[in-house]
Structure 1
Amino acid sequence: MSRDHSSQGGAASNIPFLLGTCCFSSMAALRACDTLLPVLADEFAVTLGQAARVVIAFAIAYGLFQLFFGPLGDRYGKLRIIALGALASMVGNIAAFLSPGLDALVAARILSGACAAGIFPLAMAWLGDNLPYEKRQAALARLVSAGVMGMLSGQWLSGLIAQWVGWRFAFLILAFLFLVSGGMLLHALRNQKVEPGPVKARLSVLQGLRNIISRPASRWILTVVTIEGALALGAMAFIPSFLQRQYGVSLAMAGAIAACYGLGGLLYTRLAVRLLGRFGESGLARLGGLLLFLGLVSFAYIPSLAWAPVACALAGFGFYGLHNTLQTNATQMAPAARGAAMSLFACCLFIGQSLGVSVAAWAADHLSGALAFLIAGIGLFVLAQIVARRGPPSVTD
């Protein structure tokens, strides 16, 4: 098993915290444009669906470049690649701040998504390398908690900043976050002389990915997470714009309500260990599917604006209950190349998101915005029941 030596002694004492700050930044960047879609549509005189290119472009780049960063992390050290990726993401967000038009903004988002791609999956892989399986779900939940806080902040603060000083400054703050988080991790690695451990086998990227995909258990997990990304993340991207169109609320208010999705996820991370002990992995997946159904379907037909935060929180809690179960299973797909495996897992999630956002954008322009939430809620409920019935796949499958 590839193992970063940073897990030993005092050198690693602050590594989980620093990983959390990097994941916070990457998830804030991922969700920052959700709340900005209406203002970007007005700024560049395009439809909401056309403005959604800034979300789709980030998701595609973020997903595809997982395949590049995973093997790099396995070969040169996960922590070092995370730090460098965060610092490179700063450049993409500065470019977004300076963008003269929508096409330039989309290009900047592609750069930002590509550079941030390795952060979260390599952080999960580092935990997988350094913790036994029975302790991983709790540790992953803590890491996810940092990511959820980033998503929450990205959705809410981007709207607030856009309302106060303009949408461009949201990207300037993201650049600062990446500078601080990546710089702190790189500084810790240099000062504490934390070096990556040797890799037993240096397979080519394609050979490594082929080995992972050749396993039925891996194909199962990757298929499920692609569908999950399309349904859940595709619908989530349009919560703020739906609220603005349906109720005429401000950017800041729409972002704050949408951020309750993150609050639901944060509550899950605080209860994850207790819930896992009571329901087990299969029961947790079922609970997640039920709450996703209640949150998203009721969100599509909310009786009043007051119900929207509750629906968002239910959906957020449910999503992380289901997704954290899949993440834990994914850490066992390829223990000898865990960075590549987790990167492939994340790639499928965000390729699914890009497909889901594309379909939801078309529906928002041509049909009904509520339709995406209805389909997502029903689809995720069914998916969760299938996951629960199958149970955790064996690494030898």
Structure 2
Amino acid sequence: MEQLAAETPHTVVERRYSLITLVFFCSGLFVVAALFSTIPLNPVFMTEFHLTAERAALATSICSLCYALGTVVFAPLSDRYGRKRVIILGLLLLTVISPVIGFLSNYEAIIVFRGIQGFVAASFAPTALTFITELYPPKKRMTAIGVISAGFLMAGIVGQVYSSMINGMLGWHFVFYIFGLLYLGLAIAFIAVIPRDRVLDVMEKRSVFGAFPVVLSQSFFRKCYFITVLLLLSFVGMYTALENYLRDMYALEASQILLIRSAGMIGMLLTPFGGRLAERFGTFKTLRSGLALAAIGLFSVGVSNSIFMIACMSIVFTAGISITVPSLISLLGQIGGKEKASAMSLYSFFLFVGSTIGPMIAVFLMKTGNYVLTFGMIAALLTFGFLTTFPLAKKAAVRRAES
């Protein structure tokens, strides 16, 4: 009976693999989409609350900052209290917090609750990534990571499109009301579909922050996080520069820019196949190919002389990022060892550190007035990431030999 009980969760995973992946994907998509949902609302907030552009942008930046801080808390907490329990608690809290934002009529209060929303939203991604490495069999793990990573990347565009549509039809308040209903539905789906995870015994439980110094003291992880920072740094930085580039050089309107921005989602369709590519060609070959594609696509955006080519090269760029993300996550999951949960938590933290500094770097470079230089310099950073994979491979081989 004990053996049967131990095998039951794996049997459930095999039987409901597609449904479990769908629940993870939708949860990741809509949780992370909340971070980007206020970007199209900046003009609305400026008019309704009489704000400057800088103050209106705080609704997004505060949410992102608190999200980054939250990532270093929730994954280690899931070591102590369980992955599924932490994720469900986060979804239920978002069910309450999100509609409250819609009821607020004071912008300072909106900023405070956006910060709370961002912090709580961080309960999903790092915990889910660790959960997946434990829940899925090795042959299906990389594909699952790829699908869910696609949701995280698509959220940056989907969140803005969703917010623009709901605001246009019903008003900005309903953006947050509907988010609340979505999170309630996702919480119910997660409870019903996702198997329970293994509860760690007393000897396995770690302090929340105790493993962070251990992780950061190791060169393998530091090199992984350097590449991690570059992913959203280049992603957000590229789209920040692209919007200004298309407006200044081609005089495109916001709706036209959004269409070209949305074209990048085509490249994201490769994300679920990142796992299969890594299994066939190796994790590091896939990682290097993704970084190379991203760098080439990004540089080509700056030197292209037609809108069609810019759209095509943006697809190449996002395809490269989409291949890189699941490869890097899988590498951390495979070699993370006992610090796996903390390593995943720090991965999410550094990912959003890149998201924070990406626009600042893009704006600084755009002050030169040279867009070829702007895209080229960000592409050069990705090239440094590509070169970092070679010493990283040596460190990974050492860790495998020691384990």
Q: Normalised by the shorter chain, which TM-score bucket? A: 0.7 to 0.9
- Residue 133 to residue 157, structure 1, CA distance change in 2 (3 Å): same
Give a deviation string over 1:259-294, Cα, whole Å, max 9, x none.
22233112x124324533554333322322232223
**Whole-angstrom distance in 1 between the partners of 2:240 and 2:209:** 32
Alignment length (residue pairs): 389
Normalising by structure 2, what TM-score? 0.82
Q: Secondary structure at the match of 1:8?
A: helix
Q: Secondary structure at the match of 1:298?
A: helix
Selected match of 1:67 from 61, 67, 72: 72
2:123 equivalent to 1:118 = yes
> Residue 201 of structure 1: CA displacement?
1.9
* Mapping of residues 320-331 of structure 1, within 5 Å: 320-331=322-333
2:205 equivalent to 1:202 = yes
**Whole-angstrom distance in 1 between the partners of 2:46 and 2:289:** 37
* Higher alpha-carbon deviation: 157-166 or 38-47: 38-47
Selected match of 1:318 from 312, 317, 320: 320
- Residue 89 to residue 254, structure 1, CA distance change in 2 (3 Å): farther
**Whole-angstrom distance in 2 between the partners of 1:328 and 1:171:** 33
2:111 equivalent to 1:106 = yes
Q: Say whether the 8 Å CA contact 2:274–2:326 is kept in structure 1.
A: no
> Residue 69 of structure 1: CA displacement?
0.4
- Residue 196 to residue 38, structure 1, CA distance change in 2 (3 Å): same
> Residue 301 of structure 1: CA displacement?
5.0
Q: Say whether the 8 Å CA contact 2:144–2:272 is kept in structure 1.
A: no
> Residue 363 of structure 1: CA displacement?
5.8
Q: Say whether the 8 Å CA contact 1:89–1:175 is kept in structure 2.
A: yes
Q: Say whether the 8 Å CA contact 2:132–2:144 is kept in structure 1.
A: yes
Selected match of 2:25 from 10, 20, 24: 20
C-alpha RMSD of matched pairs (Å): 3.3
- Residue 86 to residue 43, structure 1, CA distance change in 2 (3 Å): same
**Whole-angstrom distance in 1 between the partners of 2:344 and 2:315:** 27
Give a deviation string over 1:212-231, Cα, whole Å, max 9, x none.
22332122212331243333
2:289 equivalent to 1:284 = no
Match of 1:344 in 2: 346
**Whole-angstrom distance in 2 between the partners of 1:36 and 1:369:** 29
Selected match of 1:30 from 35, 57, 82: 35
Q: Say whether the 8 Å CA contact 1:288–1:320 is kept in structure 2.
A: yes
Selected match of 1:224 from 224, 227, 241: 227
After TM superposition, which residue ranges in structure 1, 4 or more long, deviate above 6 angstroms? none
Q: Say whether the 8 Å CA contact 1:285–1:322 is kept in structure 2.
A: yes
> Residue 328 of structure 1: CA displacement?
1.2
* Higher alpha-carbon deviation: 41-50 or 146-155: 41-50
5+ residue gaps, structure 2, are: 1-5
* Mapping of residues 168-207 of structure 1, within 5 Å: 168-188=173-193, 194=196, 196-199=198-201, 200-207=203-210
Q: Percent identity?
A: 23
> Residue 65 of structure 1: CA displacement?
0.8
Q: Secondary structure at the match of 1:156?
A: helix
Q: Secondary structure at the match of 1:259?
A: helix
- Residue 312 to residue 101, structure 1, CA distance change in 2 (3 Å): farther
Selected match of 2:133 from 125, 128, 133: 128
> Residue 314 of structure 1: CA displacement?
1.7
**Whole-angstrom distance in 2 between the partners of 1:167 and 1:362:** 31
Q: Say whether the 8 Å CA contact 2:294–2:316 is kept in structure 1.
A: yes
2:210 equivalent to 1:211 = no
Give a deviation string over 1:62-81, Cα, whole Å, max 9, x none.
11111110121111111121
Match of 1:54 in 2: 59
Q: Say whether the 8 Å CA contact 2:223–2:388 is kept in structure 1.
A: no
* Mapping of residues 227-306 of structure 1, within 5 Å: 227-236=230-239, 239-240=242-243, 243=246, 247=250, 249-266=252-269, 268-277=270-279, 279-306=281-308
**Whole-angstrom distance in 2 between the partners of 1:66 and 1:322:** 20
> Residue 251 of structure 1: CA displacement?
4.4
**Whole-angstrom distance in 1 between the partners of 2:91 and 2:335:** 26
- Give 1 or 2 for the bigger CA radius of gyration: 2
Q: Say whether the 8 Å CA contact 1:58–1:114 is kept in structure 2.
A: yes
> Residue 342 of structure 1: CA displacement?
0.8
**Whole-angstrom distance in 2 between the partners of 1:316 and 1:246:** 22
Give a deviation string over 1:328-378, Cα, whole Å, max 9, x none.
1111353334322211111111122212234445666x5559465443222
* Higher alpha-carbon deviation: 116-125 or 97-106: 97-106
Q: Say whether the 8 Å CA contact 1:291–1:317 is kept in structure 2.
A: yes
